[in-house]
Amino acid sequence: MSHGPPLRATFNRAADTYQSARPDYPPDLYADLLAATALDPPAHLLEVGCGPGKATLPLARMGFRITAIELGDALAAKAREHLARFPGVSVITSSFEEWEPPAGARFELLYAATAWKWVAPEAKYAKAAGLLADGGHLAVWNADHAFPEGFDPFFTDIQKVYDELGEGDGSPWPPPRPEERPDSMAAEIEASGHFTVTGTKLYVWALRYTADEYIALLDTFSGHIAMDPDKRGRLYREIRRLLAARPDGRVTRHWSAVLTVARRSG
């Protein structure tokens, strides 16, 4: 599935539900981020792809000044609403590629949570390095579906539906365990020539969802937003059918995030 602009723009359609449907990132991730970068408030941070403020709020509460860039106008409006009580936080509606920073602007940290892969590869590292102060850092992390040992068998059943609908990605099943997945982000950052990776860390956690909660989550993913409505309707009916057969009607979904921290070279 393409990672180009048409798909990255779909998230704007989930602006009303993204904040509540998507999981919070683990508190340990933020603690490790600050330990790795030696940052203290009120350092000035730049966030790329803030969405409605999912990863902005925890750092704003700590007292950091944050300039947050968000492509979607509806998502940016939600972020301003969620961050209104923090005078040191500003939300700018723009793509990172097109954003023109104030003359001489420099940041101690540029970070992106579940957004960095959507930025044009030919631009992102050079521009990021140019916006960082000497010794500044880049930090990137995602929230991915994880399949540890003993993952919920619901996902094996529903994967068959994805495949029947032509929405599978053709990868072997089951997917690799979180600790077995290759770390392509660190290699990509190093290959840019603008940064030196100083550390990575894996986080895995689990959440329980009702059918309504799980479908609300899926409605924040680009592939599901862009899916043919008939296919999406059948998929969601199958999700409800499978979960209705369970005593508690819930599914356990595991999440993983890999925090990658790098220092600006030179």
> Mind listing the pLDDT tens digit for each residue in 63-87?
999 999 999 999 999 999 999 999 9
pLDDT confidence of residue 9: 75
pLDDT confidence of residue 6: 57
Residues in the chain: 266
Enter the pTM of the model. Answer: 0.94
- Rounded CA-CA distance 81/99 in Å is 21
Query: Are 56 and 89 a contacting pair, CB within 8 Å?
Result: yes
What's the CATH fold of domain 5-148+176-208+253-264? Rossmann fold (3.40.50)
The parts of the chain modelled with pLDDT lower than 70 are 1-7
- Of 99, 259, 93, the closest CA to residue 189 belongs to 259
Where along the chain do its domains lie? 5-148+176-208+253-264
